[in-house]
């Protein structure tokens, strides 16, 4: 938030847990902001690879005007602007609330889980400044940090450590919200957990985690890699890869310098998708403890938490990875074939699209263009469809596809690529003079689109129904009969069975990267 003549520091006592003192935040007259609030003890020393523990109580006034450190991570191929420095002591969250919010008129709460392939990102990235959402839509916004890469997603349970510690971080943050958000003017009975990419993968995973029951009442998953969840043997192989890079045992790595773990994370991040197209180095693990089974399997069985779900993907997901020349998604036809061969070996009998089915579902002339569609659908769209189909049996589901692209994104062949919807959800459309998103126009249309998305997202948080501004199409729930899908573009349109050809090519069996 930019300081000006109207900005003032305020000392308040919003944290209501016994033993916690007041916080000093900032109020600009429209939005109150508290940054860098510790929601768990520092996960360092003996607490590395352990479930998060409650923070130590405080009694003096704590400054909450600057962001806390973010999880250590390699340099991202896309500049993210993490908002602050990195440190292993990283379990902090940030709160934006309308200036007039109080416990007498509690507002719906939206808790954001950032993306970044489970190895990059933070809750303090400028893109996730919650001022527009909180101030313009009358909601309380919370963004969180969680442990990343080798610090958060390695399974060393065989060596006596806790598994899925990053998921446990998010659960700890949600418990903090449950216990404290009323002090910030938020309604603990109306908490929406929302995230994008890896953050959305955490959302769909927690929908299948028994320990998450009651911690959120709605969920939004934007471009979730819902099937990218490992079994214990695959998780152990990634842990072994990291240990080999370190030249250490798990017990020795427990005391290793954090810089060495970041280096080993970067090595695994590059190596795994190159050696096994379609797989990520770091993902949640089915550990039989926190995560009992694959989330999509639990969804298909009708056993996910019965909370309303808004879920969808972008039309051109894989175009970002082509633009970055990233190995994260298999885009070249050869990589697609290798991915299919490995899946067939791991899951014999699973329906994998034939060349004829691919030609029918992806009628592009060039093989590489078809491969972009296959990569987008195997990584994001079909996992979303499979999850939505299952979850719709237990709660209302609202499906979308984001198709909008600015003129410059069309020119450079990005289109509606992975993560391009984020600026519209947050309302932070232009990030500075070097931002090229609207250099060839489209800002007016983008502002209107952002207003529609923010209205639908925040109305969903408030009422569990994603109603749009007056005159916009009614967004009907997604069911296995009608398969209603909102196509978000210059103008929004509700379409029945939008994914029919692709869905028939892939079938109902869940293809997963386990």
DSSP annotation of 427:
T
Let me know: does 152 contact 169? Beta carbons within 8 Å: yes
Positive/negative CA dihedral, 471, 477, 478, 483: negative
- Cα–Cα distance, 10 to 234 (Å, whole number): 49
| Furthest C-alpha separation in the chain | 68
Tell me the CATH architecture of domain 8-506. 3-Layer(aba) Sandwich (3.40)
Reply yes or no on whether the pLDDT at 203 is more than 70: yes
Instruction: Please compute the mean of the pLDDT values over residues 84-99 and round it to a whole number.
Output: 95
- Which pLDDT does position 352 carry in this prediction? 75
- Which pLDDT does position 69 carry in this prediction? 97
180-184, 344-348, 469-473, range with greatest mean pLDDT: 469-473
- Which pLDDT does position 346 carry in this prediction? 72
- Which pLDDT does position 3 carry in this prediction? 43
Rg of the chain, C-alpha, whole Å: 22
Per the listing, tokens 């990195």 go with 86
Strand partners of residue 338 = none
Instruction: Please compute the mean of the pLDDT values over residues 503-512 and round it to a whole number.
Output: 76
Strand partners of residue 153 = none
pLDDT band with cut points at 50, 70 and 90 for residue 364: low
> Active site residue: 88, 196, 317, 421, which one?
317
Residue-wise pLDDT for 277-331, tens only, equals 889 999 999 999 999 999 999 999 999 999 999 999 999 999 998 888 888 887 7
- Cα–Cα distance, 377 to 370 (Å, whole number): 11
> Active site residue: 124, 418, 450, 512, which one?
418
pLDDT band with cut points at 50, 70 and 90 for residue 124: very high
Active site residue 305: no
Residue-wise pLDDT for 134-158, tens only, equals 998 899 999 999 999 999 999 999 9
Between vectors from CA 483 to CA 477 and to CA 484, what angle results, nearest 5°? 55
Reply yes or no on whether the pLDDT at 16 is more than 60: no
Alpha helices in 97-188 (DSSP H): 131-137, 149-152, 165-180
Positive/negative CA dihedral, 412, 416, 420, 425: positive
Instruction: Please compute the mean of the pLDDT values over residues 375-389 and round it to a whole number.
Output: 93
**Arithmetic mean of pLDDT over the chain:** 91
- Cα–Cα distance, 207 to 204 (Å, whole number): 5
Per the listing, tokens 């519209």 go with 424
Instruction: Please compute the mean of the pLDDT values over residues 29-56 and round it to a whole number.
Output: 96
Nearest Cα to Cα of residue 373 among 404, 416, 406, 407: 416
- Which pLDDT does position 19 carry in this prediction? 62
Ranges assigned E (strand) in 73-213: 92-98, 107-113, 140-144, 186-196
Residue-wise pLDDT for 391-407, tens only, equals 999 999 999 999 999 99
4 or 42: which leads in pLDDT: 42
Residue-wise pLDDT for 425-455, tens only, equals 999 999 888 899 999 999 999 999 999 999 9
- Cα–Cα distance, 314 to 224 (Å, whole number): 11
496 or 371: which leads in pLDDT: 496
Per the listing, tokens 């490995």 go with 342
Tell me the domain boundaries of the chain.
Answer: 8-506
Per the listing, tokens 């990235």 go with 125
Per the listing, tokens 């589901």 go with 397
Contacts of 70 (CB under 8 A, 6+ apart): 82, 83, 84, 85, 86, 87, 90, 121, 122, 123, 124, 145
Residue 458 sits at φ, ψ, to 5 deg, of -80, -30
Q: Quick check: helix, strand or coil at residue 48?
A: coil
Concatenate the DSSP letters of all residues of 254-323 into one string: TTS-HHHHHHHHHHHHHHHHHHSTT--SS--B--SSS--S-HHHHHHTT-S----EEEEEETBTTHHHHH
- Which pLDDT does position 355 carry in this prediction? 72
- Which pLDDT does position 262 carry in this prediction? 97
Q: Quick check: helix, strand or coil at residue 124?
A: coil
Exposed e or buried b for every residue in 310-337, given b needs 16+ CB within 10 A? Answer: bbbbbbbbbbbbbeeebbbbbbeeebbe
pTM to 2 decimals? 0.94
- Cα–Cα distance, 168 to 183 (Å, whole number): 24
Contacts of 467 (CB under 8 A, 6+ apart): 455, 456, 459, 474, 475
- Please report how many Cα atoms fall inside a 13 Å half-sphere around the Cα of residue 136, on the Cβ side: 17
- Which pLDDT does position 6 carry in this prediction? 59
Instruction: Please compute the mean of the pLDDT values over residues 374-390 and round it to a whole number.
Output: 93
For the chain, give the percent of residues with pLDDT over 70.
Answer: 94
pLDDT band with cut points at 50, 70 and 90 for residue 84: confident
Q: Quick check: helix, strand or coil at residue 125?
A: coil
274 or 114: which leads in pLDDT: 114
Let me know: does 405 contact 314? Beta carbons within 8 Å: no
pLDDT band with cut points at 50, 70 and 90 for residue 187: very high
Reply yes or no on whether the pLDDT at 4 is more than 60: no
Residue-wise pLDDT for 234-271, tens only, equals 999 999 999 999 999 999 999 999 999 999 999 999 99
- Which pLDDT does position 5 carry in this prediction? 46
pLDDT band with cut points at 50, 70 and 90 for residue 216: very high
Nearest Cα to Cα of residue 74 among 286, 279, 242, 252: 242
Reply yes or no on whether the pLDDT at 493 is more than 60: yes
24 CB neighbour count, 10 Å cutoff: 14
331 or 213: which leads in pLDDT: 213
- Which pLDDT does position 108 carry in this prediction? 98
Three-state SS annotation for 466-498: CCCCCCCCCCCCCCCCCCEEEEECCCCEEEECC
Residue 405 sits at φ, ψ, to 5 deg, of -140, 140
Reply yes or no on whether the pLDDT at 357 is more than 80: no
- Which pLDDT does position 1 carry in this prediction? 37
- Our CA dihedral for 153, 159, 162, 166, rounded to 10 degrees, sits at -10
* Burial classification of residue 308, based on how many CB atoms lie within 10 Å of its CB (0-12 exposed, 13-18 middle, 19 or more buried): buried
Q: Give the range among 1-15, 82-96, 232-246, 441-455 with minimum mean pLDDT.
A: 1-15
């Amino acid at each position: 938030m930019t300081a000006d003549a109207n900005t003032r520091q305020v000392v308040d006592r919003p944290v209501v847990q016994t033993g916690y003192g007041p916080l000093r935040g900032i109020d600009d007259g429209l939005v109150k902001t508290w940054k860098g609030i510790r929601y768990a003890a520092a996960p360092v020393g003996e607490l590395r690879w352990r479930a998060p523990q409650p923070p130590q109580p405080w009694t003096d006034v704590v400054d909450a005007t600057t962001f806390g450190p973010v999880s250590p991570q390699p340099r991202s191929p896309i500049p993210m602007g993490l908002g602050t420095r990195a440190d292993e002591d990283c379990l902090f969250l940030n709160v934006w609330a309308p200036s007039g919010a109080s416990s007498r008129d509690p507002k719906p709460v939206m808790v954001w889980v950032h993306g970044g392939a489970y190895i990059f990102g933070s809750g303090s990235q400028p893109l996730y400044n919650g001022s527009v959402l909180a101030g313009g839509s009358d909601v309380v916004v919370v963004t969180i940090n969680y442990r990343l890469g080798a610090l958060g997603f390695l399974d060393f349970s065989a060596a006596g450590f806790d598994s899925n510690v990053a998921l446990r971080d998010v659960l700890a943050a949600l418990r903090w919200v449950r216990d404290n958000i009323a002090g910030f003017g938020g309604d603990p009975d109306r908490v929406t957990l929302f995230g994008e990419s890896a953050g959305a993968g955490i959302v769909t995973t927690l929908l299948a985690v028994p320990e998450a029951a009651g911690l959120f009442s709605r969920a939004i998953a934007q471009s979730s890699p819902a099937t990218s969840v490992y079994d214990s043997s695959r998780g152990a192989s990634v842990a072994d890869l990291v240990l080999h890079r370190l030249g250490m045992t798990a017990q020795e790595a427990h005391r290793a310098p954090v810089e060495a773990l970041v280096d080993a994370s970067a090595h695994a991040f590059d190596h795994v998708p190159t050696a096994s197209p379609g797989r990520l180095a770091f993902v949640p693990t089915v550990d039989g403890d926190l995560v009992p089974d694959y989330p999509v399997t639990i969804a298909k069985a009708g056993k996910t938490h019965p909370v309303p779900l808004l879920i969808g993907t972008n039309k051109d997901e894989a175009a970002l990875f082509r633009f970055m020349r990233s190995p994260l998604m298999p885009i070249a036809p050869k990589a697609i074939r290798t991915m299919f061969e490995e899946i067939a070996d791991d899951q014999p009998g699973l329906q994998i699209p034939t060349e004829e089915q691919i030609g029918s579902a992806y009628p592009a002339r060039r093989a590489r263009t078809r491969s972009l569609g296959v990569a987008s659908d195997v990584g994001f769209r079909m996992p979303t469809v499979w999850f939505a189909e299952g979850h719709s049996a237990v709660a209302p589901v609202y499906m979308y596809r984001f198709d909008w692209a600015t003129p410059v994104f069309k020119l450079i062949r990005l289109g509606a690529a992975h993560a391009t919807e984020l600026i519209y959800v947050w309302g932070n459309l232009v990030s500075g003079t070097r931002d090229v998103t609207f250099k060839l126009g489209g800002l007016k249309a983008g502002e209107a689109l952002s207003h529609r998305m923010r209205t639908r997202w925040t109305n969903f948080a408030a009422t569990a129904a994603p109603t749009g501004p007056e005159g916009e199409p009614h967004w009907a729930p997604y069911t296995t009969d009608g398969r209603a899908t909102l196509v978000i573009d210059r103008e929004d349109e509700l379409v029945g069975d939008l994914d029919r050809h692709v869905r028939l090519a892939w079938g109902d069996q869940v293809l997963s990267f386990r």
